[in-house]
Amino acid sequence: MTAITVTVLGATGLTGGKVVDGLLARDEVASVVMPVRRAADRQHPKLMQWEVDFDRLDDHADLFKTDVIVCCLGTTIRKAGSQQTFRKVDYGYPLKAAELGRSQGARAFVLMSAIASSSSSTVFYNRVKGELEDSVSSLGYPFLSIYRPSLLLGDRKEHRTAEALGMKAMPLINRALFGPLEKYRGIEADTVARAMVNEVCGLSLTSDGEDAVRIHEYPDIVALAE
């Protein structure tokens, strides 16, 4: 089987960095393209890192001429400073990347979204995530995979007070969430990354069948990671 090429967005974040590590370790992957705002201190024979202006992604269309695009871009409204900036980072950049990938021949898009995302939600964060899902779904990728984790657990480079408190309480909360509520369990970023890597490396990109959209929540993500 021919090894695949993958572009990873959000590669310096909690989950995206682990996705890059996982992809580089797999024989199924020939190369990983990593567009970043600022160069990260990491090197690997299969890694191609590029500093880009995310407001001018059209100038870097060739970076999306790969088999698969994995998007783990995301911020918080507090860090973004405004709803407008949050929407640009969590909706505008991922959608532009998806559009460029589709125009460059990418056959699969793997999107990090969030639990309870819905374009009809009254919660701004969930609504933006849902609108992105809808917009990317309309592009006609042969394969689209949407991940909807709840609270992501792991060591972040920046401190997020609310999430830090949530992580401390999550082991107790998780034990109380089962059945239909299981999807709201907190999940390790490493688990999400392993699931994404396993799915990407298991894709059949030679099929010309109907568009496939998969949505993964807690139980599916855990199963894919194993």
Hey, which residues are catalytic here?
125, 129
Q: Residue 94: what residue type?
A: P
Residue with tokens 């959000």: 10
Please, which pLDDT band fits residue 218 given cuts at 50, 70 and 90? very high
Q: Are 109 and 144 in contact (CB under 8 A)?
A: yes
| Dist. CA 73–CA 75, nearest whole Å | 7
Write the CB contacts of 173 (distance below 8 Å, at least 6 apart in sequence): 185, 186
* Helix, coil or strand: residue 174: helix
| Dist. CA 214–CA 12, nearest whole Å | 25
Mean pLDDT across the stretch 61-86?
Answer: 96
CATH classification code of 4-225: 3.40.50.720
**Closest to 129 (Cα-Cα) out of 150, 143, 101:** 150
DSSP 66: S
| Dist. CA 145–CA 93, nearest whole Å | 18
Q: Give yes or no for residue 152 having a pLDDT over 60.
A: yes
pTM summary value: 0.89
> Any idea where the domains of the chain sit in the sequence?
4-225
Percent pLDDT > 70 in the chain is 86
Q: Which two tokens stand for residue 140?
A: 């006609």
CA distances from 147 to 15, 66, 202 (A): 12, 20, 16
